[in-house]
Amino acid sequence: MINSKKITAVFWVSLALVSVFIIWGAFFPSNVEYVLGLVDGFISESFGWFYLLSTTAFVLFALFLIFGPYGKIRLGKPDDRPEYSYFTWFAFLFTAGMGVGLVFYGVTEPVTHYYSPPSADPETAAAAEESMQYTLFHWGFHPWATYAVVALTLAYFKFRHRAPALISSAFSPLIGDRSKGGWGIAIDTLAVFATVFGIATSLGLGATQITAGLSYTFEGIPNTLTTNLIVILIVTILFLLSATTGINRGIRYLSWANIVLAVGLMLFVFILGSSVKMIDSFTTTMGNYLQNLPTMTFSMNAFTGDREFLDAWTLFYWAWWIGWSPFVGTFIARVSRGRTIREFVLGVTAVPVIFSAVWFSIFGIAGLEMDRAEGGVIHQLMNEMGNEVALFAFLESQPMAAVVVGVAVLLISSFFITSADSGTFVLGMLTTGGRLNPSMAVKVIWGIILAAIAAVLLWSGGLSALQMAMLIAAFPFAILMIFMCISLFKALKSEYDILQMEKKQREHDPEFREKQQKELKRMRKGFEETLPDAEDERES
C-alpha cells in the first residue's frame, strides 16, 4: 500500500499528465505521431541553436567548476568520505549514463556516418575519419557535462545543506520559499515529465535491439511490434523484481555485471580485430575531436542549408542528454556523497568520455572494416531491417557467433533492467519529497508507467516517435538547467565568501575576529534562510 503521507502533489500531477498521454497514444496513435512531428519540427527548426548553446554553456560551466576556486568544497560534511569505491561509482555512472546507447550505437553510428557524413564524400577514408570524429562528439564532453551540472547541483544542496533531493531545491537561492510551493511543484513535475520520456526512449531502444537480435539469430522469432511489446513486458517484470532489492544490492550488482560483460565483449572484439588500427583510431579520433570541438559545437549549417545531419543526430542527442539529465543527475547525486566538487566533475566527465572513445574506436572500426569487406552488408541490412540489427550483423561474423550474440543480448537486457530500475528509484525520489529510499509501491507504479510510455511511443511511430518525444520533453527542462547553474553559482559564491572570512578570522587580532564573526553570522543566516527544510536524517 502507498503511504499517503509520503506522497506529494508532484506525484499526483505527474501521474495524471502521463496517464493522459498513455490513453491518448493507446487510442489515437496516428494523431500522437502527427502532433509530435509538428512540435518536433518547430522546435528543431526554430530552437536548434538553443540546444547547441545550452549544452556548450554546460561544458564551460563544468570546466569552471574543475579549475575554479570552489573545487575543494566537499559534497557533504567536512569529514564525510565517499560511500562507494571508484569502481562501483564508475559502474553506476556507466550504467545509468548511457550503457544501452553505447551498445545500440557502437556499430550503427560510425557505419551510418560513413555513408552519410556531415561534409566529407561518402564511402571514403575522409568519411570514415569524420564518422568517428562526430560519433565521439555526440558521446563526449557535452552529454557528461550536462549530467554533471544537474548531479552536482542536487548533490551539493542535498549533502552540503541537507535539502530534499529534488530539482526544486536547487532553485532556493533564486526564489526562496517559493521553491516549496507552487513553483516547486511545477519545477519537479517538469523534471518528472522529462525523466519519464528520457527513460522511455532508452527502454524503447533497448526493446527494439533485443527483438532485432533475437529475430536475426533465431528465424522463428519475428521482428514486429508485438515482439517488442512482449520484450518490454518481460523486462518490466525483471526490473521490478530488481527494484525490490534496493540500490545497494540489485542496482549495484547489476552495474558490476554490466561493466564486466561490456569490457569482456569489447576485449573480445579488440583481440580478434585490427587491434593496432583501433589504437591508431583512438588517438586520431581524440585529436580530431579536441581540435575541431569548437567548430562542431557551434555549427548550425547556416550557410549550407543542409540540416538533415544536424536534426537527425546532433539535436536529437543534445535533447536526449538534457532529457536524461534529471534521471541520471539525481541518481549520480544519490551515490556521490563525500566527494569534492573537483573530484566529482572530473570523474563524471573525463572517465566516461575516455571509455566512450575506446568503445567506439573498437566497435566502430571493427564494424566499418567488416562492412567494407563484405560489400556494404551492414549498411544494407540497416536499410532493410533497421539500425538495431547492425550490432548483430557484425557479431554474427565473429568466432563463436552464437555465444557472442547471446552475451550481447544479455548485456543489453542487463542495461535495460538496470536503467529502468534506476529510473523507478529516481522517479520515486522526485515524487515523494526527495526521500532517498522511496517505497516499493511508488517504484512499481512508475515502473509500469515507464513500460506503458515506451510501448505507446513504439505503437505510435516506432523509433522516430521516441526521438520526437525526447526532443520535445527536453526543451523546457533545458531552460530550468540554465537557472540551476546560476543558482548553484550563487550558492557556491556565498559559501566561498563565508569560508574566506573564516580564514581571515584566524589571521587577525581578536577585535577584528569579533567584528567578522558578526558579519559571518549575518551572511550564514541569510544564506541558510534560502535553503529548503532538512528532510528526515534517518533517510540519509
The three cell numbers locating residue 373: 569487406
Q: What pLDDT is stored for residue 5 in this prediction? A: 47
Residue 527 located in a structural domain: no
Residue 304 located in a structural domain: yes
Q: What residue spans of 299-400 are helical by DSSP H?
A: 308-309, 315-334, 341-373, 377-385, 390-395
- Cβ neighbours of residue 86 under 8 Å, at least 6 residues apart? 347
Residue 520 located in a structural domain: no
Q: What pLDDT is stored for residue 286 in this prediction? A: 92
CA 362/CA 282 separation, integer angstroms: 8
Q: What is the pLDDT along the chain (540 residues), one digit of tens a residue?
A: 454 445 678 888 888 888 888 888 888 888 887 888 888 778 877 888 888 889 999 999 999 999 989 988 898 887 888 888 888 888 777 776 666 778 878 899 999 999 988 888 899 999 999 999 999 999 999 999 999 999 999 889 888 888 887 888 888 888 887 888 888 888 888 888 888 887 777 777 778 878 887 787 777 788 888 888 888 888 888 777 776 666 556 667 777 777 888 889 899 999 988 899 999 999 999 999 999 988 888 876 645 556 778 877 888 888 888 888 887 888 888 888 889 999 999 998 888 889 899 999 999 999 999 999 888 889 998 888 877 788 888 888 888 888 888 888 888 877 777 777 777 888 888 888 877 778 888 888 888 888 888 888 788 766 677 667 777 878 888 999 999 999 999 999 888 887 777 676 666 655 555 665 666 566 555 545 444 444 444 444
C-alpha triplet 332, 337, 340: angle, nearest 5°: 100
Residue 523 located in a structural domain: no
Report the domain count for the chain: 1
Residue 373 located in a structural domain: yes
Contact 232, 451 (CB under 8 A): yes
Q: Which of 458, 469, 382, 464 is nearest to 208 (CA)?
A: 458
Domain limits at 132? Answer: 4-501
Q: CATH number, domain at 66?
A: 1.20.1740
Residue 25 located in a structural domain: yes
The secondary structure of residue 288, as a DSSP letter, is H
Q: What pLDDT is stored for residue 308 in this prediction? A: 76
Residue 402 located in a structural domain: yes
Contacts 24+ apart (CB under 8 A), 287-292: 288/129, 288/132, 288/133, 289/133, 289/136, 289/137, 289/140, 289/357, 292/133
C-alpha triplet 201, 182, 490: angle, nearest 5°: 80
Contact 393, 216 (CB under 8 A): yes
Q: What pLDDT is stored for residue 165 in this prediction? A: 77
Angle separating helix axes 141-155 and 315-334, nearest 10 degrees: 30
CA 178/CA 524 separation, integer angstroms: 20
pTM, 2 dp: 0.82
Q: What pLDDT is stored for residue 538 in this prediction? A: 41
Q: What pLDDT is stored for residue 55 in this prediction? A: 92
CA 407/CA 231 separation, integer angstroms: 17
Q: Which residues of 1-25 are buried (b: 16+ CB within 10 A; e: fewer)?
A: eeeeebbbebbebbbeebeebbeeb
Residue 110 located in a structural domain: yes
Residue carrying C-alpha cell 519519464? 196
